[in-house]
Structure 1
């Protein structure tokens, strides 16, 4: 099975620009940031409610807990949200016409319903197509997240935990390597 494309930094910026256009641009940008900056799966993003992202004081959480019911492996996990992602979530929330209730879904379709994982997957695929990024999919952000951590020297065990994987071999399959990275690697010697 062919793996989802891992965009370059320039391709990622182009993708964000494409997805951010139009009436649903802020929502779409939030989707990409949750995928790329937290490594969330499309089903996990679709299942998010505002109470998952906001604490009792309406501040964006530094970490969110995903219940076993929404994760692929059926194991609850903690997702850490960096400063950039917390700013993105706050920016998205501040642009809403009505402050959200904690029980409301974070993402609402144009029909005013919550997204299914499949519908969100199709929407994300359309952004890659519009941006001219063949091979991109809803899993590209997750692969980008894991690859970036690996190439930044983060411990494989930490990456495995952040990805919510049970085995390091699973995490290793997500890491993308290209000629530029291999050239830089041998220059270290």
Structure 2
């Protein structure tokens, strides 16, 4: 329900900017324009499709209850996308990424946090300074994902400590902020990391590959799928177990200790 509300709020903001303030005046081309706008903001086809599901549900409800004469979202097609297997960065690749962004203290901390905790980019953007404890972070509920606590290893703690020492002094408690103290947006984070992927010479990599690498690395190190699933915030254990097919020849003996990448 949280994600549904945010999707509709995002559409509402877009429509208001186009001087459309009533659901009864929304046209199919307006929703098509919103879909195209999402694509320009680095949303994946899968994310766009999910947002369209929310929008279609909303307008279908209005139509069925006689509030609208027709459903403007009905004819809007979902973007096509493939369910490709997760990409797992090699040790050489994620070390090269580290080296490429090391002088950028803020992005380095973001990369390290994603790589060492498996946190989602949206969850990371929503972190506050209150969520950071000495040896763990508390991830608040985000969209349809439940809240959870993730331990911080030495690499993550050190990167965060360095970032906090140069973080802009602001009353805003958002953890990652711009040089002027404003919250760093998801699209800004994604753009910055993808730029460093290119600088590191890593072709075809995406921000979410840091999360994939966290999951795969710990499964390979012998951490139980149940533990990894809980830390990654997977709703279903089967989501975590998908990775086992990719790494089945590399899984070591079981361990309860989290590894440092």
Do the structures match in fold with TM over 0.5?
yes
Which of 141, 150, 163 is matched with 2:232 structurally?
163
Q: Equivalent residues in 2 for 1:27-46 (5 A)?
A: 27-46=106-125
Alpha-carbon displacement from aligned partner over 1:117-136 (angstroms, at most 9, x marks no partner): 22212222221122121121
What is the Cα deviation at residue 96 of structure 1? 4.0
2:223 pairs with 1:141: no
Aligned CA distance change for structure 1 residues 86 and 126 (closer, same or farther; 3 Å)? same
Q: Whole-Å Cα distance in 2 between the matches of residues 50 and 37 of structure 1?
A: 18
Larger relative contact order, structure 1 or 2 (CA cutoff 8 Å, min sep 6): 1
SS at match of 2:246: coil
* Distance of 1:90 and 1:72 partners within structure 2: 28
Q: What is the number of residues matched between the two proteins?
A: 170
Q: Is 1:66–1:78's contact at 8 Å kept on the other side of the alignment?
A: yes
Of 13, 19, 23, the residue aligned with 2:95 is 13
In structure 2, the residue matched to 1:123 is 192
Task: For residue 111 of structure 1, report the CA deviation from its aligned partner.
Answer: 5.3
Offset of 1:148 from its aligned partner?
Answer: 0.8
- Check if 1:65 corresponds to 2:138: yes
- Does 2:229 correspond to 1:150? no
Unmatched 5+ stretches in structure 2: 1-82, 252-261
- Residues 4 and 135 in structure 1, CA contact (< 8 A), matched pair in contact too: no
For structure 1, which segment, 118-127 or 35-44, has the greater mean C-alpha deviation from structure 2 after superposition? 118-127
Q: Secondary structure at the match of 1:114?
A: coil
Superposition TM-score, scaled by structure 1 size: 0.78
| Greater C-alpha Rg | 2
Q: The residue matched to 2:196 in structure 1 has which SS?
A: helix
**Backbone CA RMSD of aligned residues:** 2.5
